[in-house]
Amino acid sequence: MLDEAEKMYQRALQGKEKAWGTDHTSTLGTVTNFGLLYKSQGKLDEAEKMYRRALQGYEKTLGLENVARCQPALTTIRNLGDLLAAQGHLDEARE
């Protein structure tokens, strides 16, 4: 079932990238969801890459000063922090 979900996320991500670009907030939300899916599959390195990609996109699109005002960006930060903590990277997770 998770494999099917991965295919659907990939399809959605490709469509959003084509329609809105890689750094549109809707596209970045799908990237974050990909991170959640990968985490649930136990693909922690892939999950981290997706969370970091989304966070970098939010920072680029919104500007660093506005990331803290954007709920989807904050969710991505929390997800990345939780993942890093679960991996034992506590100092990085605190950041």
* pLDDT recorded at residue 5: 86
**pLDDT at 1 > cutoff 80:** no
* pLDDT recorded at residue 90: 81
Please count the residues of the chain: 95
Please work out, in degrees rounded to the nearest 5, the angle formed at the alpha carbon of residue 49 by the alpha carbons of 42 and 23: 130
User: Which token pair is 19?
Assistant: 């329609």
Tell me the per-residue pLDDT of 43-77, one tens digit each, with 9 for 90 and over.
999 999 999 999 999 999 999 999 999 999 999 99
**pLDDT at 85 > cutoff 80:** yes
- What is the count of structural domains for the chain? 1
Burial 13-39 (b: 16+ CB within 10 A, else e): beebeeeeeebeeebbbbbbbbbbbbb
**pLDDT at 42 > cutoff 90:** yes
**Confidence label for 2 from pLDDT (cuts 50, 70 and 90):** confident
Residue 18 is part of which domain span?
A: 1-93
* pLDDT recorded at residue 70: 94
CATH number at residue 57: 1.25.40.10
- What average pLDDT is seen over the chain? 93
Phi first, then psi, for residue 88 (nearest 5°) are 90, 10
